[in-house]
Amino acid sequence: CPMLYFDHSATTPLRSEVKELMQSINEAYYGNPSSIYALGRKARSIIETARKQVANAIGASSDQILFTSSGTEANNQVLWTLIFSSKKHVIASAIEHPAILKVLNNLGPLGVSHTLLPVNNSGIVNLSALVPALQKDTGLISIMLANNEVGSIQPIEEIVRIVGQYNIPVHTDAVQTLGKIPIDINSLGVDFLSLSAHKFYGPKGVGVLFVKDKKKIKSLMIGGSQESGLRAGTENVAGIAGLGLAAKLAKDKLSSHSEHLKKLETIFRKKLGKINPNLVFHGDHHHCLPGLISLSFPGQKADILMAKLDRYGLAVSSGSACSAGTVTPSAVLKAMNVDDSLNTATLRISFGTGNTRDDVEELLSGLKKALKP
């Protein structure tokens, strides 16, 4: 049976316009972008068009956009650059994606230390902990723009303002946000920002690193001189073109898309309360991504609920990682002081552009069935 998909925070389907563009480029423009004959020049111009589209979507200039293979790679490039810095201390939040937290753990033995800022029960960084965490050798602050599990939007502008006088670069992992909330590099004030195409209806395997000043970043992939010498390797031309168009569409459709997500979320929240009044919602109701809901069903187990919903043709994810039949509590919810029994009873539902009111009704009836003893 066809699946109803409610896990858009994990990945999104390709927009049809993006799919068509990528297909035509793969067929017609197979030249190496570094080649100087016409086929190569055409491939190069396709990449530069995409660079403009991405820059335009976030208010940057084209020469500040680097293409990577993923948001994960973009995050890694910023963090690994610290090995070459004289200031080797990083401040991050306790609820960052593993593509930040695990990297920091790996950098420890190489002399890069870190401090994690706590978050409140709504998953918002505790700003009063920021200045006390600063050290003489703090070389980077990395705080996500919005959390992937609970959707809480972090006060990045405020963080940039607080550390402005200390001249410390700020990175934000904005992978969850493009097309859901406005992103403007100038109002955010950050030095680095990461994006990933497959989170905004673009292809998998293509990401972006915005770099305010290219002198402040080192290459992670070494070889040819692609991407201003900052990311070696022959470019994924069709993937980059797909990312560019997806970024343009995300920007153009921002208000209608976020309204659509909010509408579905409102219907879902209202009706779900009637099915199960003991529900616990996680995240910040005022500062959150539209269409992302993290909720716990007291007394239930997330993996069992997910398996039942999967049988009914409904795709949702859990707040926690299920590995080898054991449910480990989510580190994000732990940092938000959610106790383990609620933590392992948490589902994450994230709506997308293709979802309808009827889909929401299907999900509600599926949950009703799954919750029956």
Q: Please choose, from the candidates 169, 235, 180, 168, the residue with its C-alpha nearest in 3D space to the C-alpha of residue 208.
A: 235
Cα 168 from Cα 87, distance rounded (Å): 10
Q: Are strands 89-93 and 113-117 parallel, antiparallel or unpaired?
A: parallel
Residue type, 366: G
Residue type, 186: N
Cα 343 from Cα 294, distance rounded (Å): 10
SS (H, E, C) 2-34: CCEECECCCCCCCCHHHHHHHHHHHHHCCCCCC
Name the region of 59 (left: φ>0; alpha: ψ -120 to 50; beta: rest). left
Backbone angles phi, psi at 136, to 5 degrees: -60, -30
Active site residue 322: yes
Choosing from 162, 322, 331, 371, the catalytic residue is 322
Catalytic positions: 322
